[in-house]
Amino acid sequence: MRGIHGVTSLTVLTLAVACRGDAATGNGPRAASGTASPTNAVTPPVTAPGIVTAGSGSAAPAHHPPPGPPPAPVPVPAEIAAKVALRPFVRGLYRPVALVAAPGDRRLFVIEQRGAIRIVKDGAVQKQPFFAIDDLSDGNEQGLLGLAFHPQFATNHTLYVDYTDAEGTTHVVEYKVKADDPDRVDPRSARERLRIAQPYSNHNGGDLVFGPDGKLWIGTGDGGSANDPHGNGQNPKVLLAKMLRLDVDTPDAAAEIVGLGLRNPWRYSFDSKTGDLYIGDVGQNTWENVYAVAHDDLVGHNFGWNVREGRHCFAKDPCDVPGLTAPVVEYQHGALGCSVTGGFVYRGKALPALDGVYFYGDFCTGIVWSFRWTPDGGAVDHWDWRAALDPDGALTNLASFGVDNDGELYALSLDGAIFRFEAK
């Protein structure tokens, strides 16, 4: 995002990538890819790095999006817009970058980028932090960035955070809640599960999400600078520019590479009903992209960076490389924005007309869009919500979306406010 935005053995399997997507159109190469630097490798807590590249035995079908460019957004239909409002929920937070609900819990947990997680209870921000950590990087795209609760959190009280330390290194750490205080994390329970050296201070990813497989999915950026100078996007031997997953219930499990070619996945989510995965991937110079992959085809995708920027040639022209997965929607830098913020498929009760609609937006302009997607039909009903929800531009610096345990949707401004989508 722009503006904020232990393993023990080496095992590398062939990444099986079925031919997906369509041919790209390009504006010519902008930067040549390089070779991997040692600073891009995993730095494990104990011994040598371990990388497991998943997908070699997968028999899941490959889904092909319809040919041609993705649909451009149009204004949301008036009959739908008349039923939806974007209303302030809480204010006064410091650089909120994520809102997360724990399984079976009515509280909401908000990450403040500079090192705290706040509880929102009954619509009020609690004064005492749920979690606090010092000695973090203060880079615009670094700090405390991700939070995920174990699927059995109600019984094992376990959670995971992603942060970059003062040296810029990414850490994924397991914690437990204090036995005598459900509103506080026990700092003594820290157990590092993954550590990745970052060559630069941007494109660090940072999101954490448990998938329908019960594993922790970890999206990493390409390590930063610009144009992927180390060639991490297409290098299967490093963990940068990848979608990883980690079996947190297996001691000393290695991180698996389950997808590659991501520039900076800023917020991704699984549809709580279908298990389909949606990824907002921040672009380089021109194109912002949203990818969607089906629940039975999650592993083995190559999203193309830095051969392509979405559907468009970048470091290679022509770039009709077989096996690259194309975004299902895209938008160009300019009036629409400059940095995508991925969101969620709405599955709440308050707005039944929006069931199954995926929402996303742009950090720079605060514009919110939505679409419906199916593996065989692609993206449809691509709607622009600015005039309907936020004609005065109150939603600034759109850092993230969130959902509660009822499936209701929220939007977070880095300026400190959280808004909720509600019925009029």
184-214 pLDDT per residue, tens: 999 999 999 999 999 998 999 999 999 999 9
Helix, strand, or coil here: 271? coil
The pLDDT value given to residue 397: 97
Q: Please give the single-letter amino acid code of residue 206.
A: G
Span 337-384, pLDDT tens digits: 999 999 999 999 999 999 999 999 999 999 999 999 999 989 999 999
The pLDDT value given to residue 245: 98
| 257 neighbors 233 (Cβ within 8 angstroms) | no
The pLDDT value given to residue 316: 86
Residues in the chain: 424
Sorted by sequence, the CB contacts under 8 Å of residue 219 that are 6+ apart come out as 205, 206, 207, 242, 243, 244, 262, 265, 268, 279
The pLDDT value given to residue 3: 58
C-alpha 417/C-alpha 415 separation (Å) is: 6
C-alpha 376/C-alpha 63 separation (Å) is: 7
**Per the CATH hierarchy, to which homologous superfamily does domain 34-57+77-423 belong?**
TolB, C-terminal domain (2.120.10.30)
Residue ranges of E strands in 122-169: 124-125, 131-132, 144-149, 158-164
- Kindly report the pTM of this predicted structure: 0.89
Q: Count of CB atoms within 10 A of residue 116's CB? A: 18
Burial (0-12, 13-18, 19+ Cβ within 10 Å), 384: middle
The pLDDT value given to residue 2: 60
Q: DSSP string covering 197-231, please?
A: --SSSS-----EEE-TTSPEEEE----SSSS-TT-
Sorted by sequence, the CB contacts under 8 Å of residue 391 that are 6+ apart come out as none
C-alpha 416/C-alpha 72 separation (Å) is: 31
Look at phi and psi of residue 252 and say left if phi exceeds 0, alpha if psi is from -120 to 50, else beta.
left
Percent of the chain predicted with pLDDT > 70: 84
Q: Domain residues of the chain, as ranges?
A: 34-57+77-423
**Tens digit of each residue's pLDDT, the chain (424 residues):** 665 553 222 233 334 333 344 333 333 323 333 333 333 333 333 222 345 556 543 434 454 554 578 899 999 999 999 999 999 999 999 999 999 999 999 999 999 999 999 999 999 999 999 999 999 999 889 999 999 999 999 999 999 999 999 999 999 999 999 999 999 999 999 999 999 999 998 999 999 999 999 999 999 999 999 999 999 999 999 999 999 999 999 999 999 999 999 999 999 999 999 999 999 999 999 999 999 999 999 999 999 999 999 999 999 899 988 999 999 999 999 999 999 999 999 999 999 999 999 999 999 999 999 999 999 989 999 999 999 999 999 999 999 999 999 999 999 999 999 999 999 9
| 116 neighbors 144 (Cβ within 8 angstroms) | yes
